[in-house]
Amino acid sequence: MGFEFTEKAVFQQYFGAAHDMVRRSIKEFVNGEIMPHVDEWEEQGGFPRRLYKKAAEVGFLGIGYPEELGGTPGDIFFQIVAWEEIMRCGSGGITAGLGSLNIALPPILARGTDEQKERFVKPVLAGDRVAALAITEASGGSDVAALQATAVRDGDFYVVNGSKTFITSGCRADQITCAVRTGGPGAHGISLLVIESTTPGYSVSEKLKKTGWWASDTAEIFFDNCRVPAENLIGEENQGFYGIMENFQVERLQLAIMGYGHPGGSEPGIYLPGGRRD
């Protein structure tokens, strides 16, 4: 049996001239600022903090974020282009470390106040602060609704106790977007707080050793009666689970792009991505 095609197949063109310009810019950044150092940074278990500032200067950190916050607005395919090019360095750890803002900031953008965006988004996009997402705990990671770190309201503060683990950029993060339990058990008792690393009672472990993602500083974070200003609550109390689930959609996309964009192989300087971390 034969088939006769009388019309051309229709497809969607996702990348245009502007996307190509971004791709060339990020490729130059990777070749000039990352590739010469990737082996050294992998062995050291981290990359210099100044790389965030350089990434911000070429526009990498701000891709897809509002212009008024220092970003460069655009559709999701601008971020896809950037992730593809960064991943060409062969280091999942560098890609994850530079990209931790992309899982830490979206809940603030989606549910935060204008004041929170100025305080917690703008400095990160400028490369002056490092942001991380803190969800996973030692007792479980995939079951987000079962997390146990608590935040109890005390006047104008939340008193936070508990811990997080496998947090990407956890060692150097200036702020974390943190899932805490403010209500009863299950998904409907979870809130999101921005917790700054300078908060008394906030402490961080040594870098965790991992099979892959060596250049990503992954850590455990501990809270011992941390008094976090109530104004750092993102959105409504006990509604944080929904923000987390919204956030996971882009996170899964980023991880998928890292997976297929990885050069692979066993040559020096090529490292396989690790597993679930936040």
> Which residues participate in catalysis according to the annotation?
251
Number of CB atoms found within 10 A of residue 67's CB: 9
| 131-134 vs 150-154, strand pairing mode | unpaired
Sign of CA dihedral 27, 33, 37, 38: negative
Tokens of 98: 């530079």
Asked if residue 138 lies in contact with residue 193, where contact means CB atoms within 8 angstroms, the answer is: no
Burial of 248 from C-beta contacts in 10 A (0-12 / 13-18 / 19+): middle
- Tokens 């750890």: give the residue: 93
Asked if residue 58 lies in contact with residue 83, where contact means CB atoms within 8 angstroms, the answer is: no
DSSP of 245-278: HHHHHHHHHHHHHHHHH---SSSTT-B-------
Number of CB atoms found within 10 A of residue 48's CB: 11
- Those residues with Cβ within 8 angstroms of residue 9's Cβ, 6 or more apart along the chain or in another chain: none
